[in-house]
Structure 1
Amino acid sequence: MALLSEETERFVRAMVPDRDDTLREMEAHGEAIGFPTVGPAVGGFLRLAARMVDAERIFEFGSGFGYSAYWFAGALPDGGQIVLTEHDADELDDAREYLAAGGYADLAAFEAGDALETIERYEGPFDVVLVDCRKRDYPDAFDAVREKVPEGGAIIADNAMQSSAQDFGAIVSVLEGDDPGDVDEETRGVVDYLRSVRDDPSFETVPIPLGEGIAVSYRTEA
């Protein structure tokens, strides 16, 4: 199911920020191997969000070969930091090469393994956090990072609406207060995450139908 009408999708594509040669190479690589990156529309939003909160430190739950991190890195100041996490060592190696090609290697920390374990080794604050790991782990990711995001920071969840792993209709039903019956653990993970950030009084959350849907949660109070 397309999130946007064909005409609106054309508009969004026409407004996508310019990408350098490395980003275009990363997009071609993702298409070639069938890896679902966030895409340039969401990538542009991520970079903008980092600029808007004057981000100095960013953490990613799930980084793949570094596509979203590359967008984020373009908004970081000298001395800033983005922490990439990834189970697949080969993808993390690709991320190192791509970020180095863009001149961002000094800003990046590359962490192999489970992001939920990695975040426990890092002190906050993180001004922006991207949640893009296994959908079943979304609620745990929020719990793990909630106290490490300061007032004025943001948590952004990718695949808030769609992915190959979840049932969007069931997500909507649960959020509306209906009971769709048993749902798989990936769908349940997204639902539980969205309810948590929606109902948390310290965050204001807005869904944005770019890419496969993102949920942006801005911390309004400590």
Structure 2
Amino acid sequence: MTVPDDVETFAAAVGPDPDDVLREMDDRAEETGFPTVGPAVGGWLQQLAGLVDADRVFEFGSGFGYSAYWFARSLPEDGEIVLTEIDADELDDARENLARGGYAEMSRFELGDAIDIVTDYDGPFDVVLIDNEKDRYVEAFEAVREKVPVGGVVVADNMTAGPFDFEEIHRVVMEGGETDNEMARGVADYLGHVRSADDFETTLLPLGEGLAVTRRLA
């Protein structure tokens, strides 16, 4: 399930205005079909970083830097955002996009497996975005959970749509059904895992393809 296009467009219009770099990235996504979170969700990422007064952000999966760019707009000049990507060309594009926006100094660009990379970084990370392989979401959360401070948030994309349809993930989560779709199984496992995680609280933001926002309470 995705939010109707008119609601998504309305949410984007109400949210923060994109700059020219973001508009160009949106055009690229539309022309090529590259999966970004889109401007409505991007505005929420910027807002979440601002709400928790974030200084540091870590991304499990960054593509050409779209979500990182939204996050960066809320970080202080001495803040830090770590982008990870397994595609070298995409990471080069992310480097260029963040530099064009004036965010190169705060950005760290890491090529490789994000779950391996995060072990090389000390916390805290005030905001974490999980958007790598869906069947590794639980693994990503466990790799970073102790680096999230009280009040920090972990955001996971593709909770209601993606490489599966909403009816399938709804059936698996709400009815405990089985699925042959590894991606849907991974998302269902992730939702069950974070909902039962000690000292964390999770809510669903049904914009884009669905975000699980998990806040550390203690």
The verdict on a shared fold, with TM-score over 0.5 as the criterion, is: yes
Are positions 1:44 and 2:43 aligned together? yes
* Aligned partner of residue 181 in structure 1, secondary structure: coil
Are positions 1:194 and 2:172 aligned together? no
Are positions 1:58 and 2:57 aligned together? yes
Q: Could you list the per-position Cα deviations for residues 166-210 of structure 1 after superposition, in whole angstroms to 9, with x for gaps in the alignment? A: 24323222322x242333211111011111111113111110111
Out of 198, 205, 209, the position equivalent to 2:206 is 209
What is the rounded CA distance, in whole Å, between the counterparts of 1:82 and 1:11 in structure 2?
Answer: 28
User: How much has 1:14 moved relative to structure 2?
Assistant: 2.7
User: How much has 1:8 moved relative to structure 2?
Assistant: 3.2
Question: Is the contact between residue 172 and residue 185 of structure 2 (CA under 8 Å) also seen in structure 1?
Answer: no
User: How much has 1:33 moved relative to structure 2?
Assistant: 2.1
Q: Who is 2:14 aligned against?
A: 15
User: How much has 1:154 moved relative to structure 2?
Assistant: 0.2
Are positions 1:26 and 2:3 aligned together? no
User: Cα RMSD between the aligned structures?
Assistant: 1.4
What is the rounded CA distance, in whole Å, between the counterparts of 1:130 and 1:71 in structure 2?
Answer: 12
Are positions 1:185 and 2:193 aligned together? no
What is the rounded CA distance, in whole Å, between the counterparts of 2:179 and 2:12 in structure 1?
Answer: 37
What is the rounded CA distance, in whole Å, between the counterparts of 1:13 and 1:117 in structure 2?
Answer: 34
* Aligned partner of residue 103 in structure 1, secondary structure: coil
What is the rounded CA distance, in whole Å, between the counterparts of 1:162 and 1:94 in structure 2?
Answer: 26
Among the aligned pairs, what percent are the same residue? 56
Counterpart of 2:99 in structure 1: which amino acid?
Answer: A
Q: Could you list the per-position Cα deviations for residues 150-177 of structure 1 after superposition, in whole angstroms to 9, with x for gaps in the alignment? A: 10100000111100x124323222322x
User: How much has 1:137 moved relative to structure 2?
Assistant: 1.1
Alignment CA distance shift 1:12-1:170 (3 Å): same
TM-score (norm 1): 0.93
Are positions 1:114 and 2:113 aligned together? yes
User: How much has 1:10 moved relative to structure 2?
Assistant: 4.5
Question: Is the contact between residue 8 and residue 208 of structure 2 (CA under 8 Å) also seen in structure 1?
Answer: no
Alignment CA distance shift 1:154-1:148 (3 Å): same
Q: Give 4+ residue runs of structure 1 displaced > 4 Å after superposition.
A: none
User: How much has 1:7 moved relative to structure 2?
Assistant: 5.2
Question: Is the contact between residue 138 and residue 189 of structure 2 (CA under 8 Å) also seen in structure 1?
Answer: yes
Q: Which stretch has the larger CA shift, 30-39 or 143-152?
A: 30-39
User: How much has 1:32 moved relative to structure 2?
Assistant: 2.1
Structure 1, unaligned runs of 5 or more:
none
Corresponding pairs, count = 218
